[in-house]
Structure 1
């Protein structure tokens, strides 16, 4: 047996990556991230280390360097094939070389190669990127450091060779992560929260506009590192003008000032008070095997598919009467509940809910492209704007193909996307919403999916903003070149970012003005922002790089020639911009070669794959066993590929066959990681399997809120029956006896349900607010007598103090 020392990967080979240190600097709503990766070769031969890892899909990678001993080599951005050839030439001549490149299929996957690291040598790799921070439903700014890269599904026969990912369960990652953040803003910092354990927030000044925070020691790589940063008065429009690079030629992107506008359009209250009562709502649900995993690694955590089912219940109950809807689900194939979208009624709602309740994560892989094509092939319903809701854990390779399809159909619908669980592709989730004129949400850790989805439904019910235009009023001699794609969607209170290059000269006191005009529910509206053209102090080139990244992404999304090959003119322009701005793209790579190394490195070069943390560890993707079995028996998902494969199982084959016959694929990526080498241990295992007294644990009682929601009718009312009484915690006879005599049963039941929501579930109001509005509309239509008497009787029955005004009656 080979005697290995140091860190080992899944193939029992040494792992040269020792640690990752991440420093985050947040200025207002833009972040700069510096990652330092420490490599060490403890073997007796030179090695090449290959590390495939995730980054945020909209990050602008702007610096890559390597330090060997006292020698620092700063990488250059070059056309990708040229960079690859230079890297190969360097290795073949015995030189040290470093290559960083973005995946051509998905912009949130990067590959880092550390070549010709001699025995006993160490290398420090510095990687820097800048990124905009997304605004969450509760006004928090979200930063996510992707730590988890699950194997991504690639459809059979799809074009482009995907990068092979070496993954291990999060608990087995052989390197450490340290993370610290510094936050500064013109406005006070209210708080910083995280899905991971943090050390206490430390304020650096009395105004509380600067603070630092660190990740607590012992991060297990079992989740992405997510920060939520809260400022006071976060919804203020802002403008940052950044000076150009002194060494760059005026008239170029890097030589001119660039402005970043952060706009928060405000809609008239009269429009916001009347949400749409029409639309075609199409829900597309991921049923691939990985949806059977929990969103978090805590015990008894609800699975992704279970949370999605509960969310669909809320959505269906909250839809307005008179709209149309359909539900699709997908894995390796796709299904739909109705052949085409149907009108929303009690009958169609109940039929859909029955089928939703039967949905499991049993459809194999993650083929999202085909169901999208089918949805787009269906003719739109006149006067029913199409709203598409996509729920997925986002583990696919063909991201650009999918987002390109959404963009090509953006004139006919709005797309709202939801990334579920650790490792969801930010490039896919953000790309779907951005190209579809909708809104993206991420559900990680112990977060509930329902509040975020209901916020998106409220956005979908807002009137579609049409005829959006951005006009500039600048001093004479100053012209503007917009770097961002045209604004395609505006939602109340949500941020729109615009980047623009400013060419020409003006006096220091000069001001510019930008006006966003649009048509809202038939009424012309506009919002203005006036800003100073004098560049801000000490901003570096962050805004330039984000603006360059925005323009590069726009060009990459342009139409491609027949056959799927990129347009050569567009590709040339992207390469020019990428090289000029020093920002990564699909067609370029960072290359660094240590030419100071006078002595060629001798000996055969050994390749070492650095494993990436994977969320699907043992006992997380719980699969039900046939027969009595072991409760919560699971198989670890560790092998990429389109087919299910089983690996390295030491059990006798008959038992293995019985166990594996019960296992469904997780995105068609499975391996059995159970090692029962010791006879005694295997005997104990058999005893457990054959123990007739071993039964599955009882299912926890369903959330009373969801129970109440499930009882609501499509019209908005509730029936007075034992099921409703049980949710209210009362006996049926007592509920019926408390009813005022002049009121019918449905009115009484509906008022009680509303009072229970307001009295006992006010903390979850964002989840039930829309269906409560529907109930109130139904009550008003009944013109029911004695509403005040009903509320008094209801307060006595339920033991609460709900006021009539609170119900909206």
Structure 2
């Protein structure tokens, strides 16, 4: 009889993982996550359950324990090989043991072994980690609880064993998730958004600085749980001093106070109002087979690759004149549109768009390392700072090698990364941006790719910040050891995080300051923050934090995060020294990991239940716990001739029919929606390609210079005939000026919901109109006053062109509004 609880694999084997409970606590921009995994062995023999699962790539795992019966067994951090041997020895002697270790290939994959679970026995595994919350371009703080772990692509010829992942379609994940969160902030919590259904946000106090959030009932752990938190006035610099552990030795990381400084640089208005007109923009697009997945269940016909094509269209239309660009795509191999980056012009843009239109998810695997090597081998262009945009669903295994390469070349470029879809590796996406001095974005659920990418393009168009330094001003007798890597990039409104270990003694009222200095657009700038050096007393849950706005925090959270930052930095340094066979750095990592209780690639958590003296009968039954995996939708050519088979073909026909039936049944069992015709879409033909949105069709007609041509294609995009568009054109106004004004009115009149997507290309159109200054475009001479400056698209679109003849202005706007059925005012356009 089938187990209706769902606790079976697709091979109908019992799965000992019953449920997962997750408690989230967010204090300002730091999250503490406690996961409890409940196991039960319903078999008549002892089992070893193995669960491979994802965690955020920058998470600091700091606690691992198991409760069996009434006894809690707390794990210790030990050198990885030592921990593995202790685990094997325990199982060999009939003892119960638990092992948690990080993958050697990628820091966002962990494996947990629950060994020696006796028949009928239950165990609760508790896993705790702390992580910094990434600030999105819209100022939200993003927390992601990863559920989906797609099989990671292992490059051909790579060394080391691949991580063994047992995955099932997301709809067949055989365990439930209970998720709740508590939010604490020194500033009001404005709202919380999620890719999953949430119960209404519950505030715990009148000033709305504390709240609870909870997943709606019935949620299955079949997709990533993404929560974005928005605070009022989020960009407030803070300094947090956390007291050291009283039992730890003074002078050690855990024994001394640690300060965490969050700075939000604010650039001068004069800098932000200027958009760079130079740069080399290199776009690297994933064309592996997984990019053929749907972007979300609500938009099944829109695939990741089709969304990426539309995104490249917007990017190319938004690039400034005078820059250089190239487009790479990769899978098992890689391609590039031009041998080397070319100057941005109408000809080069059209050539690129023609090839982008033909791009499909047809290049096989995910070999991202080789195209990156080729890009870095290209000589950088003088006075054209390189900006690299990477689009991938992030299913690679050699994450650390990729990040090492980006770090090695970080001085020559900025890297902006985009994780597409469920299962994208947070270690890869965040690591690319961190090591490349750029910004990371994730596109999941119903997110549109285009607005997030354009937000990152705005960052890329900000002038490069140079000569970044951090200056500490501390009282006499107090010193600081910086634990985090040097700051290599700064963007307007984006957080810069610094950890420092404080040594020495100071008076209770002592204060210190930290100053971030840099040069931008040739101008020296600085941001300074003063803070108290007195940490709060260690009182448990609210220990360690002291700042102007009272903000409690879990004890030693800052120490754990600082240790994690230092461990990651040392691990990367160790890989750089590996060719010299230098084991000293590895030993440093192991000692720091053991001392701080934070996981690393060289250590593991090990717990052995030695107390009850019971002997577990061997051999143990191996039971891999399935994780969620999103599968592509395929078409299978399974149809057979619709004729009656004769004697000569009967056996062949019979075998084909039998194979067809068995394959369809098998596909259904693993989650494919397969119709009788053999199509994995449930229809007998491939779905039609989604039509491009009308406004994107309009955008596709824009010239590289920023203007539009008055032609039938523009008329069709505006929903008019050529005659309807041409007849109301004011006398003597050029066709290009009239067409460009119409396009701008249409965008503002009908697509304000996508303003952040077309803002940059519309600003370029305005620049083109301003460049017509002095050209005769109407009977009274259409002029653009030099005194009127173009406001940056970063601050909103203001169409800052004006006519000497007011009647000509009115005539153009009125004619455009009448034609398009809009009511856009001159003031709204900035006329």
Q: Specify whether residues 694 and 409 from structure 1 end up closer, same or farther in structure 2 by C-alpha distance, changes over 3 A only.
A: closer
Alpha-carbon distance, 1:5 to partner: 10
Shift of 1:272: 1.0
Matched, 1:553 2:568: yes
Residue in 1 that maps onto 2:800: none
2:788 aligned partner: none
- Aligned partner of 1:667 in structure 2 is none
Aligned residue number for residue 641 of structure 1: none
Q: Provide the residue aligned with 1:635 in structure 2.
A: none
Cα deviation for residue 487 of structure 1 reads 0.3
Which of 634, 645, 658 in structure 2 is aligned with 1:623?
A: 634
1:93-242 pair list within 5 angstroms: 93-242=93-242
Aligned equivalent of 1:775: 765
Q: TM-score if structure 2 supplies the norm length?
A: 0.89
TM superposition shift of 1:139:
1.1
Distance of 2:106 and 2:590 partners within structure 1: 17
Within 5 Å, give how 1:307-322 maps onto structure 2: 307-322=307-322
User: Is the Cα contact below 8 Å between 1:170 and 1:614 reproduced in 2?
Assistant: yes
- Structure 1 residues 763, 676: closer, same or farther in 2, change over 3 A? closer
Counterpart selection for 1:798 from 820, 823, 827: 820
Offset at residue 302 of structure 1 (A): 1.1
Residue 364 of structure 2: aligned partner: 364
Structure 1 gap segments, 5+ residues each = 630-650, 661-669
- Give the structure 2 partner of residue 664 of structure 1: none
Aligned to 2:676, which of 664, 685, 691?
A: 685
Unmatched runs of 5 consecutive residues or more in structure 2: 537-541, 544-552, 641-652, 783-807
Q: Secondary structure at the match of 2:349?
A: helix
Q: Contact 1:95–1:597 at 8 Å: present in 2 too?
A: no
Distance across 1 between alignment mates of 2:74 and 2:636: 54
Deviations 1:409-459 (A, max 9, x none): 000000000000000000000000000000000000010000110011111
Which residue among 694, 701, 707 is the counterpart of 2:697? 707
3-state SS in 2 of match to 1:284: strand
Kept after mapping to 2: 8 A contact 1:5/1:14: no
Assess if the C-alpha contact under 8 Å between 2:301 and 2:687 holds in 1: no
State how far apart, in whole Å, the 1-side matches of 2:499 and 2:664 are.
46
Answer with 345-354 or 293-302: which moved more.
Answer: 293-302
Q: Is the 8 A contact 1:327 1:336 kept in 2?
A: yes
Give me the CA root mean square deviation.
Answer: 2.6
Equivalent pair of 1:6/1:42 in contact (CA under 8 Å): no
Query: Using a 3 Å threshold, how does the CA distance of structure 1 residues 565 and 9 change in structure 2: closer, same or farther?
Result: farther
The answer on 1:753 being equivalent to 2:743 is yes
- After TM superposition, give the deviation of residue 43 of structure 1 in Å: 1.0
- Residue of 591, 594, 615 corresponding to 1:576: 591
- Paired position in structure 2 for 1:448: 448
How far apart are 1:570 and its partner, in Å? 1.0
| Post-superposition CA distance 1:62-92 (Å, at most 9, x none) | 0000000011011000110110011111010
- Alpha-carbon distance in structure 2 between the residues aligned to 1:656 and 1:371: 44
Assess, with a 3 A threshold, how the Cα gap between structure 1 residues 318 and 628 changes in structure 2: closer, same or farther.
Answer: farther
Q: Structure 2 CA distance, aligned partners of 1:564 and 1:105?
A: 17
Cα deviation code 1:385-407 (max 9, x no counterpart): 11000000001110000000000
Q: Distance in 2 between matches of 1:62 and 1:712?
A: 53
The Cα of 1:541 is off from its aligned counterpart by: 0.6
- Return closer, same or farther for 1:738/1:4 CA change in 2, 3 Å cut-off: closer
**Aligned 1:189-588 pairs, distance under 5 A:** 189-298=189-298, 300-536=300-536, 538=543, 539=553, 540-558=555-573, 560=575, 567-588=582-603
Q: Structure 1: how far apart are the matches of 2:275 and 2:294?
A: 34
Q: 1:628 to 1:761 in 2, by over 3 A?
A: farther
Matched residue SS, 2:575 = coil
Does the Cα contact within 8 Å between 1:134 and 1:141 map onto a contact in 2?
yes
Structure 1 residues 531 and 761, CA gap change in structure 2 (3 angstroms): same
Residue 202 and residue 413 in structure 1: after superposition, are their counterparts in 2 closer, same or farther (change >3 A)? same
CA distance in 2 between partners of 1:17 and 1:384 (Å): 54
Q: Post-superposition shift, 1:301?
A: 4.5
**Are 1:518 and 1:525, in contact at CA under 8 Å, matched by a contact in 2?**
yes
CA deviations on 1:154-203 (whole Å, 9 max, x unpaired) are 01210121220000011111111110011011111111110000111111
1:221-278 CA-to-partner distances (Å, cap 9, x unmatched) read 3320000111111111111111111111111100111111111001111111111101
CA distance in 1: counterparts of 2:148 and 2:271, whole angstroms: 42
Structure 2 residue aligned with 1:645: none
In 2, Cα distance between equivalents of 1:423 and 1:119: 34
Q: Determine whether 1:739 maps to 2:739.
A: no
Q: Partners in 2 of 1:483 and 1:596 — Cα distance? A: 40
What is the number of residues matched between the two proteins? Answer: 770
- SS of 1:725's equivalent in the other structure is helix
* 1:725 aligns with one of 715, 720, 726: 715
What is the alpha-carbon distance in structure 1 between the residues aligned to residue 823 and residue 600 of structure 2? 59
Query: Displacement of 1:342 after TM fit?
Result: 0.8
After the TM superposition, which segments of 4 or more aligned residues of structure 1 sit over 6 Å from their partners? 1-6, 655-660
> Against the structure 1 CA distance between its residues 392 and 653, is the aligned structure 2 distance closer, same or farther, given a 3 Å change threshold?
farther
Structure 1 segment 30-109 matched on structure 2, within 5 A: 30-109=30-109
* SS in structure 1 at match of 2:617: coil
Q: Contact 1:265–1:493 (CA<8 Å) still a contact in 2?
A: yes
Match of 2:539 in 1: none
Contact between 1:4 and 1:12, CA under 8 Å: does it hold in 2?
A: no
Distance 1:652 1:582 in 2: 63
For normalisation by structure 1, the TM-score amounts to: 0.91
CA change 1:186–1:434 in 2 (3 A) is: same
CA 227–656 in structure 1, closer or farther in 2 if over 3 Å, else same: farther
CA change 1:696–1:77 in 2 (3 A) is closer
In structure 2, what is the Cα distance between the partners aligned to 1:18 and 1:341?
A: 54
Deviations 1:26-48 (A, max 9, x none): 11111100000000111111111
The answer as to whether partners of 1:9 and 1:609 remain within 8 angstroms in 2 is no
User: For 1:2 and 1:782, how far apart are their aligned partners in 2?
Assistant: 75
Cα drift, residue 686 of structure 1: 5.2
Counterpart Cα distance in 2 of 1:342 and 1:133: 38
Q: Given that residues 223 and 445 in structure 1 are in contact (C-alpha distance below 8 angstroms), is that contact kept between their aligned partners in structure 2?
A: no
Name 1:636's counterpart in structure 2. Answer: none
Kindly indicate whether the alpha-carbon contact (under 8 Å) linking 2:639 and 2:678 is maintained by their aligned counterparts in 1: no
Q: Is the 8 A contact 1:483 1:551 kept in 2?
A: yes
Pairwise CA distance, 1:611:
0.5
The whole-number CA distance in structure 1 between the counterparts of 2:590 and 2:717 is 62
Shift in alpha-carbon separation, 1:441–1:655, aligned structure 2, 3 A = farther
Of 558, 571, 593, the match for 2:608: 593
Distance 2:709 2:692 in 1: 20
Q: 2:667 aligns with which of 671, 674, 677?
A: 674
